[in-house]
Amino acid sequence: MRGKTPGKLFDLRELSHRVVVFRDRASAGKVLAGMLEAYRDSKALILAIPAGGVAVAAVMAKELNLPIDVAVVSKITLPWNSEAGYGAVAFDGTVVLNEELLSRLHLSPQEIHEGVRKTKQKVTRRNNLLRGDRPFPDLNRPVILVDDGLASGFTLRVAIKAIQRAGNKQTLVAVPTAHHESLEMILDEVEAVYCPNVRGGSSFAVADAYEYWRDIEEQEVAKILSEFNLPPKGEKSS
């Protein structure tokens, strides 16, 4: 493990600036677990960003014997492109907009308002599905925020803001792959970032780090979480 910025960013030299370095999300989770070995059997909590981040985080939680939960966030997508976003909304209503991008998109205030409104509805629905009536876990401990990759970084940034607003003071980020510019945007906001596959270039896709890549459905996320005995909607843990 190597820190590019001492005490902040940790990557793996042998995996940096390469593509197709992980078989799938599970193998990426094992690599990250190795980098975070110091947190094995600790008081740390793993918070996964659905959907793809849960598949990575579940392996980490099993390997490190740590509890897991989810931090539901979603990007605010363009009216004409459901894959591209100009911001994100978190489970607590926190909104972060990419003001630089918006200045070039020429969206009307009404279009932006509608995009935020629809995204808040999506986050509420997904949060109800995956967390139900469970109270949010205690965040007065190290929290390892996990996603399956970091492209623009806005989804992760809104998750960081939300958990820190909820009281977390020791935030760590663990992502298998990321663009170096996006990592630099969050370094000052967290205690440390663990990312084995740091890449650059004008064209970046999270999927390029994986041999096998597919979308993960919400029901599959719910099934993964059920393996950790997280109760479904409307049920209380005993």
Q: Which residues contact 199 (CB under 8 A, 6 or more apart)?
A: 16, 17, 18, 19, 177, 178, 179, 180, 209
Q: How confident is the model at residue 101 (pLDDT cuts 50, 70, 90)?
A: confident
- The pLDDT, as a whole number, for residue 4 is 46
Number of domains in the chain: 1
Q: Tell me, yes or no, if the pTM score tops 0.85.
A: yes
Compute the distance between CA of residue 134 and CA of residue 171 in angstroms, rounded to an integer. 22
CATH code: domain of residue 54: 3.40.50.2020
40 against 234, higher pLDDT: 40
- Residue 216 resides in a domain: yes
Q: Which residues contact 124 (CB under 8 A, 6 or more apart)?
A: none
Compute the distance between CA of residue 130 and CA of residue 233 in angstroms, rounded to an integer. 7
- Residue 88 resides in a domain: no
- Residue 184 resides in a domain: yes
- Residue 178 resides in a domain: yes
**Do you find a cis peptide bond into 51, omega within 30 degrees of 0?**
yes
Per-residue pLDDT of 153-172, as tens digits, reads: 888 999 999 999 999 999 99
Compute the distance between CA of residue 68 and CA of residue 45 in angstroms, rounded to an integer. 6
Q: Which residues contact 167 (CB under 8 A, 6 or more apart)?
A: 139, 140
Domain with 187, as residue range(s), is 2-72+135-226
- Residue 93 resides in a domain: no
Residue 235 has pLDDT above 70, yes or no: no
Residue pointed to by tokens 């490190």? 64
Cα dihedral 50, 210, 81, 95 sign: positive
Amino acid at 128: N
Residue 1 has pLDDT above 70, yes or no: no
Q: List residues bridging with 237 in a β-sheet.
A: none
